[in-house]
Amino acid sequence: MSEKIIHVKIFRFDPSVDKEHYYKDYEVPYIKGMSVMDVLDYIYQNIDGTLAYYDHAGCSLGICGRCVGRINGRSGLFCQTLATEEMQLDPLYKDRVLKDLVMKR
């Protein structure tokens, strides 16, 4: 049986080097019950350490609200939302981006 793969497209923008934002595609092995935050952690730890998102600074309990973003166009908490096979992840407000999925508060 072949392994299930999550295809995720992530908003990328580093204002110190990029003129405009772009999307980068990643493939992540699916584990039943994994959250969007788990997917981001996997990418950061195994594929692309340049990805910026709220990780260790957050509570992972749905309390602090730091991991809010858009998942397939709908706002939600990355730590509390289950990953799906096809996802697009964006910052909540693109005009407030510090880097990738991290926004000014």
CA dist 9 and 25 (Å) reads: 4
- Cβ distance to ligand FES smaller for residue 5 or 63: 63
Q: Is 37 helix (H, G, I), strand (E, B) or coil?
A: helix
Inter-residue contact 54 to 102 (CB < 8 Å) = yes
Contact positions with ligand FES (CB under 6 A) in 66-85: 66-67, 77, 79
- Judged by phi (left if over 0) then psi (alpha if -120 to 50, else beta), residue 65 lies in left
Q: Is 104 helix (H, G, I), strand (E, B) or coil?
A: coil
Interface segment toward ligand FES; rule CB under 6 A; list 19-27, 59-67, 82-90, 94-102: 59-67
Indicate which single residue of 60, 71, 100, 102 sits in contact with ligand FES (rule: CB under 6 A). Answer: 60
The distance of closest approach from Cβ of residue 65 to ligand FES in the complex, given in angstroms and rounded to an integer, is 5
92 binds ligand FES per the rule CB under 6 A: no
What one-character-per-residue DSSP string does 78-90 give? TTTSB--SEEEEE
- Cβ distance to ligand FES smaller for residue 19 or 104: 104
Give contact residues for ligand FES (rule: CB under 6 A): 58-60, 62-67, 77, 79
